[in-house]
Amino acid sequence: MDQRLVFNLSKKNKKIPSFAQLRALPKFLSSAEKKTINWLTLVIVICFVLLIGNFYHSHTTLLPAPGGSYTEGLVGTPQFINPLLASYNDVDRDLASLIFNGLLKYNNEGILVPDLAEQLQISPDGLIYNFKLRQDVLWHDNKPFTADDVVFTVANIQDPSWQSQLKSALGNVQIEKIDEFTLRFILKDPLPNFLNSLTFGILPEHLWLAIPSSNATLAELNKKPVGTGPFKFKSLTKDKNGNIRTYIMARNENYYMAKPYLEEISFKFYGDFETAAKALANNNIQGLGLLPKEYLATAEENKNIKFYSLSLPQYTAVFFNPTKNELLKTIKVRQALAYAINRQAILEQSLDQKGVIINGPILPGFTGYHPDIKKYSYDPLAAKTLLDESGWKMGEDGLRRKGEEALQITLTTVEKIEYTKAVEIIKQNWEAIGVGVTLEIIAKDRIRTDIIEPRNYQALLFGEIIKSDPYPFWHSSQTESPGANLAVWANHEVDKVLEEARLLNDAEEINKKYVHFQNILADNVPAIFLYNPIHIYPVDKKIKGITTRRISAPSDRFTRITDWYVKTKRQFSWSLEEK
């Protein structure tokens, strides 16, 4: 009966077995035949699944999706999360860069592009800059951003009570409001690099207006700021001593540009890089702000970390202050100290070769770079000869003297491993030529108020973030705070050259002026230029979309923070060509 059911295909001229016939078929198959059919069925299913998977991946694109968070460790403590007061604290600058926006900003290639500004017109004589502002910007409290906020911010920068370092670039600039979204900067003299000064964050007038400038540093807005940036303040925690330990920012849903994918960014603060690097190795944080080379091995214990190399326009130098040590007024003494320093040893032992030796204040790629500048290569014999010629004779105790006076210098730096290793090497180098050296290591929270602002040092090893205009760093008008002339050096010819360069528009002529300026600098040695560091930025591989490679300041690593993402989604498309 079953056999007739299976093989009877003659009725109604059937060519395809019925379901009932297929169900009865296994009763007439051998064990080997059944196994073969089972394997073939499995192969067909697998091929079908692979075909569906291939179709899905061929017709979909993996894209970033909103959601997720990022936690970064920072060494230090927030003091003033305020763009007008953040100049000396890397932590402050990092946080402020996420909360505030400027008229202009640097993109990934280090080129100035519009931010809060929408349009710019410059008068033919280079004295008037007209800005048209965006009209779609809201502060984090949903109040509209207007030209009044910019005028108010510039007025505070120019107010001596604020003690803002930005005053050196904007002190003599006049600003006028044209209408709610148009304003004008008026310069006394053309400044070819003026636009580079307009990246500072803008403050909300409606919140700061009621705060007297004399109390600006005490305002709660310095800890819980309101800006226009891609992230806004959410919460913070403090330890029993009142120091901020964690700081959380939330995505600004009203951001006027593309909103960030990340929902939150959290920061944890550590007292030193050793502790922070261990936290990174133990997955307590997902990234660490610009890791010193000596802690690279600790961070590498975390196999999920990717290391980004960031190029920064910064140089580290020893700045002399003859007003605090009369011995440093002699050019030959300064030249001898320059010849005595082994820069290569500093590069190897302090930076693990993650940097480049430099001989002047203008780096490669900048207008005025001078590869043929006079160099003070390591030459202890030349250093000793110069000191002998200056009348400083070596004593039996290994210390040089001129009569009863000993040749001694106090070398100051901030408490940072890279710097403390460097000053130890310099101390050994200088002592080897008969110079007595006392090291002074200053805590990060004191370096601004106790040392830099009052120019309270004889020789200072410090790193400066540079711009394309050397005027703020070397003109005699900048020797006092908030100016950035840390060498406290005044030279009439240098002043003249830098002033003339600011009046020029021809790049070649500006270059000639800057080369001349550096030749004067090299002959007088008001500072010893050491190296340009390369910064390592470790971040968990889960954080995608990090494309920045060149930065103008450490905080610029967040320039494209809106592109960073953790979560992904797939977008379907029928056409392969659209992928």
pLDDT band at 22 (very low <50, low <70, confident <90, very high): low
pLDDT at residue 379, rounded to an integer: 97
- Top pLDDT among 309 and 558 is at 558
> Residue 80: which of 441, 478, 449, 413 has the closest Cα?
449
Cα(103)–Cα(207) distance, integer angstroms:
19
> What phi, psi does 170 have (nearest 5°)?
-120, 5
Kindly report the average pLDDT of the chain as a whole number.
89
pLDDT in tens, 347-378: 989 887 778 899 999 988 788 889 999 999 99
pLDDT in tens, 451-468: 999 999 999 999 887 777
pLDDT at residue 192, rounded to an integer: 67
365 C-beta neighbours (distance < 10 Å), count: 11
- Top pLDDT among 232 and 550 is at 232
Give the whole-number percent of the chain exceeding pLDDT 70. Answer: 92
Residue 6 pLDDT exceeds 60: no
Residue 447 bridge partners (DSSP) = none
pLDDT band at 538 (very low <50, low <70, confident <90, very high): very high
The whole-number average pLDDT for the span 409-419 is: 93
The whole-number average pLDDT for the span 488-493 is: 94
Classify each residue of 316-331 as buried b or exposed e, where b means 16 or more C-beta atoms within 10 Å of its C-beta: bbbbbbbebbebbebe
The answer to whether 528 and 317 are in contact (CB under 8 A) is: yes
pLDDT at residue 578, rounded to an integer: 44
Residue 78 pLDDT exceeds 50: yes
Residue 17 pLDDT exceeds 80: no
pTM of the model: 0.69
pLDDT at residue 565, rounded to an integer: 96
pLDDT band at 8 (very low <50, low <70, confident <90, very high): low
The whole-number average pLDDT for the span 65-83 is: 95
Residue with tokens 């210390």: 399
Residues 6+ apart with CB under 8 A from 572: 59, 60
pLDDT at residue 574, rounded to an integer: 62
pLDDT in tens, 215-261: 999 999 999 999 999 999 999 999 988 899 999 999 999 999 999 99
The answer to whether 210 and 204 are in contact (CB under 8 A) is: no
Residue 315 pLDDT exceeds 70: yes
pLDDT at residue 62, rounded to an integer: 75
Q: What's the burial of 250, exposed, middle or buried (CB within 10 Å: 0-12/13-18/19+)?
A: middle
HSE (side-chain half, CA atoms, 13 Å) at 490? 7
Residue 51 pLDDT exceeds 70: yes
List C-alpha distances in Å: 13 to 7, 8, 20, 24, 514: 12, 10, 17, 20, 100
Residue 1 pLDDT exceeds 90: no
